[in-house]
Amino acid sequence: MCGIVGYVGPQPALEVVVDGLARLEYRGYDSAGVAVLDGGTLQTEKRAGKLANLRRALEASPPAADGIGIGHTRWATHGAPNDVNAHPHVDGERRVAVIHNGIIENFAALRVELEERGCKFTSETDTEVAAHLLSTELKDRGDGDLAAAMRAVCRRLEGAFTLVAMYAGDPDLIVAARRNSPLVVGRGDGENFLASDVAAFIAHTRDAVELGQDQVVELRAGDVRVTDYDGAPAPVREYHVDWDASAAEKGGYEYFMLKEIVEQPRALADTLLGRVAADGTLTLDEMRLDGAELREIHKIVIIACGTSYHAGMIAKYAIEHWCRIPCEVEVASEFRYRDPILDRQTLVIAISQSGESMDTLMAVRYAREQRARVLAICNVNGSTIPRESDAVLYTHAGPEVGVAATKTFLTQLAACYLVGLYLAQVRGHKYGDEINAVIGQLAHMPEQVEKVLGTVDPVRALARSLAGADTVLFLGRHVGFPVAMEGALKLKELAYMHAEAFAAGELKHGPIALIEDGLPVVVVVPSREGRGVLHDKIVSNIQEIRARGARTVVIAEEGDEAVRPFADELVEIPAVPTLLQPIVSTVPLQVFACELALAKGNDVDQPRNLAKSVTVE
Ligand code: F6R
């Protein structure tokens, strides 16, 4: 949600900043802007719409000077996505430029105060308040100390923000601050970068510095200085990014999403790699929760949003089955508002690809205040949610740039299965050989996904044939239900179609009234093995909807002859154990949504109104 880039060094700043924005555009893409500062000259350019609009404006009238620079891609919160509301924002004298990610909650009161002091506002944004506040603070101080002014301003702000500022009075310096919003510094040789995500500077350096909560960083070409809001030196974590720029490029695919779907076998294999010790036991090195703590747990609560929530729903089936611990799953945005019952023996599992979703972060903080132990499942090293949790299990999907989650979902599933098995091992709910058997099955999943990817061409054709449909329904039972929900979510966000998922058994309690002639209904059929009764029930459900005119698209195990007579379209997936089936059954649904959206001419990497990392509540 909003991408931020800053650069101080000998390279042409504008070029570095705009290239960085291109790598961050997935974070927000309703407008973009840059500011460059050379000597005392501050110049800005900003445009509504995608980065291409800004590039065109910069080509048509390039800034006369180029020294240090900051840039921003926006996902609007306050004020429409137009040229005026785009960042950067400047003060009345155009001496200070500011970009911002997040929401300044007390901006209205601050705006009134600033207007009383004579500040003239040009935009409807909360961000402009920060530009005027910095400017008045600098005037009041009279010493030109931008970092000190930033600290004073941050102490007055409420809400969540990353703020980045430049000041014509100190043209070699960028100052940034963060609270509840991401910010990372890239250390180069005689140059330094900052961004909301390492992807912005990975082409220049893989040495990163993670900023903590309520910290201010001063960035000069040869120096990075970090302090807290009171000016005291602050501790930071330095780390080396373990992927390079090529991982965040399209690699010959037209869209990142297409590449990321194909990368799923590799991502799964990487997430499963190195989890079994020489003695055959499962070891989760990053867990940081010892066996005694895990044995005390009497309840698990999984919190997450969107696709990650669907991973959590699937995890519940596996964890309760393997560990016999009660497990609840809740959307993070609702969690803390219902006064949930938590204690020291509750394990909260927070699933977040980005590690930055504000809803999940707030739920994590609430859980920790209630003394629950929190385990994060996350794909982004050093992001806020794992940092604020007691333990973390990283998925190793590599960077996911397409806004719709694909490979991170499959790797979240793998991570959830590992957690379930680990708990079963530590708590003695399963014998070692039973656990090893499941680990062996998991180890085969990358090749099973590869197999699915090799057979999805008919799914593409089917998707194209349905591009004119108004509604698609999705049905599933057991772990197939969250898979159906994930299929519907993908279709909504990518194809902008009405798509809805139901537990197949619920259909007869109301939604069956929606079925009419030719309505496409996708049905995820459970494995015949182990849960035979579910399989038979869903075959009946398929017959019920078909009798009422539905066009049935059935996703079932290869060789499942029982469903064939009732499937208008049959999508076969490999036969795998019931609990692991979501890993294979999700893939055709991703392909289906992606292809249907492409057939409608949509941009699947940057669907309208969305952003990759949702850092507001
Ligand atoms: C859907 C999607 C979103 C995210 C959700 C949570 O394709 O990507 O629904 O799953 O915004 O994001 P994370 O996992 O980063 O917390």
* pLDDT, tens digit (0-9, with 9 covering 90-100), for 599-611: 999 999 988 888 7
pLDDT band at 286 (very low <50, low <70, confident <90, very high): confident
Q: Tell me the three-class secondary structure of 68-107, residue by residue.
A: EEEEEEECCCCCCCCCCCCCCEECCCCCEEEEEEEEECCH
Please indicate, yes or no, if residue 605 is contained in any of the structural domains: no
pLDDT at res. 532: 65
Please indicate, yes or no, if residue 530 is contained in any of the structural domains: yes
Task: For ligand 1, pick from 255, 354, 483 the residue to mutate: most ligand atoms within 8 Å of CB.
Answer: 354
Residue 236: what are its φ and ψ, rounded to 5°? -135, 165
Please indicate, yes or no, if residue 610 is contained in any of the structural domains: no
Pair 210, 305 in one domain: no
Transcribe 500-561 into DSSP letters. EEEEGGGGGGTGGGG--TT-EEEEEPPPSSS-HHHHHHHHHHHHHHHHTT-EEEEEEETT-T
236: Cα within 13 Å, side-chain hemisphere: 25
Pair 196, 148 in one domain: yes
Please indicate, yes or no, if residue 604 is contained in any of the structural domains: no
Domain termination site, one of 190, 218, 241: 241
Query: Is 350 near ligand 1, meaning CB less than 6 Å away?
Result: no
pLDDT at res. 2: 81
Pair 424, 498 in one domain: no
- Per-residue pLDDT tens over the stretch 405-450: 999 999 999 999 999 999 999 999 888 889 999 999 999 999 999 9
SS3 (DSSP) at 3: strand
pLDDT at res. 529: 76
- Catalytic center residues: 2, 612
Pair 352, 266 in one domain: yes
pLDDT band at 236 (very low <50, low <70, confident <90, very high): confident
Please indicate, yes or no, if residue 609 is contained in any of the structural domains: no
pLDDT at 224 over 70: yes
- Per-residue pLDDT tens over the stretch 381-397: 878 999 999 999 999 99
Q: Give the global pTM.
A: 0.83
Q: Using the 8-state DSSP alphabet, how is residue 390 labeled?
A: S
Pair 225, 295 in one domain: no
Beta-ladder partners of 162: 101, 178
Identity of the amino acid at 600: K
Pair 485, 530 in one domain: yes
Please indicate, yes or no, if residue 153 is contained in any of the structural domains: yes
Domain termination site, one of 389, 421, 443: 443
Query: Is 73 near ligand 1, meaning CB less than 6 Å away?
Result: no
Least confident of 222-231, 461-470, 532-541: 532-541
pLDDT at res. 125: 92
pLDDT at res. 531: 67
Pair 360, 476 in one domain: no
Mean pLDDT of the chain: 93
Residue 341: what are its φ and ψ, rounded to 5°? -90, 110
Phi/psi region, residue 249 (left: phi>0; alpha: psi -120 to 50; beta: rest), is beta
Identity of the amino acid at 526: P
Q: Using the 8-state DSSP alphabet, how is residue 279 labeled?
A: T
Pairing of the two strands 174-179 and 159-167: antiparallel
pLDDT at 217 over 90: yes
User: pLDDT: is 104 or 382 the higher one?
Assistant: 104
pLDDT at res. 615: 74
Query: Is 306 near ligand 1, meaning CB less than 6 Å away?
Result: yes
Query: Is 404 near ligand 1, meaning CB less than 6 Å away?
Result: yes
pLDDT at res. 407: 97
> What would the mean pLDDT of 542-566 be, rounded to a whole number?
94
* CATH code of the domain covering residue 411: 3.40.50.10490
pLDDT at res. 169: 96
> What would the mean pLDDT of 541-552 be, rounded to a whole number?
94
Pair 366, 306 in one domain: yes
pLDDT band at 509 (very low <50, low <70, confident <90, very high): very high
> What would the mean pLDDT of 453-460 be, rounded to a whole number?
95
Short-list 214, 422, 230, 218, CA closest to 315: 422
* CATH code of the domain covering residue 67: 3.60.20.10
pLDDT band at 280 (very low <50, low <70, confident <90, very high): confident
Pair 211, 333 in one domain: no
Phi/psi region, residue 355 (left: phi>0; alpha: psi -120 to 50; beta: rest), is left
Pair 429, 469 in one domain: no
Please indicate, yes or no, if residue 437 is contained in any of the structural domains: yes
Identity of the amino acid at 133: L
pLDDT at res. 289: 85
Q: Tell me the three-class secondary structure of 199-213, residue by residue.
A: HHCCCCCCEEEECCC
Query: Is 357 near ligand 1, meaning CB less than 6 Å away?
Result: yes
Say how many Å lie between the CA of residue 352 and the centre of ligand 1.
7
Pair 185, 67 in one domain: yes
553-to-10, 25, 237 alpha-carbon distances in Å: 58, 35, 50
> What would the mean pLDDT of 39-52 be, rounded to a whole number?
91
Transcribe 452-466 into DSSP letters. HHTT-HHHHHHHHHT
Say how many Å lie between the CA of residue 177 and the centre of ligand 1.
25
Say how many Å lie between the CA of residue 278 and the centre of ligand 1.
36
Domain termination site, one of 212, 241, 270: 241
Pair 524, 552 in one domain: yes
Percent helix, strand and coil across the chain, each rounded to 5?
A: 40, 25, 35
| Cis upstream peptide for 458 (omega within 30°) | no
pLDDT at res. 102: 87
Number of C-beta neighbours around residue 580 at 10 A: 22
Identity of the amino acid at 605: D
Angstrom distance (rounded) from CA 250 to CA 268: 19
Please indicate, yes or no, if residue 612 is contained in any of the structural domains: no
pLDDT at 77 over 80: no
- Cβ atoms of 439 and 487 within 8 Å: the answer is no
> What does R_g of the chain's alpha carbons equal in angstroms?
25
Transcribe 419-436 into DSSP letters. HHHHHHHHTTSS-HHHHH
| Residue 170 Cα to chain centre, angstroms | 36
Q: Which domain holds residue 417?
A: 256-443
pLDDT at 496 over 70: yes
> What would the mean pLDDT of 517-523 be, rounded to a whole number?
97
Q: Which residue is closest in CA terms to ligand 1's atom 3?
A: 306
The total number of structural domains that make up the chain: 3
- Per-residue pLDDT tens over the stretch 293-335: 999 999 999 999 999 999 999 999 999 999 999 999 999 999 9
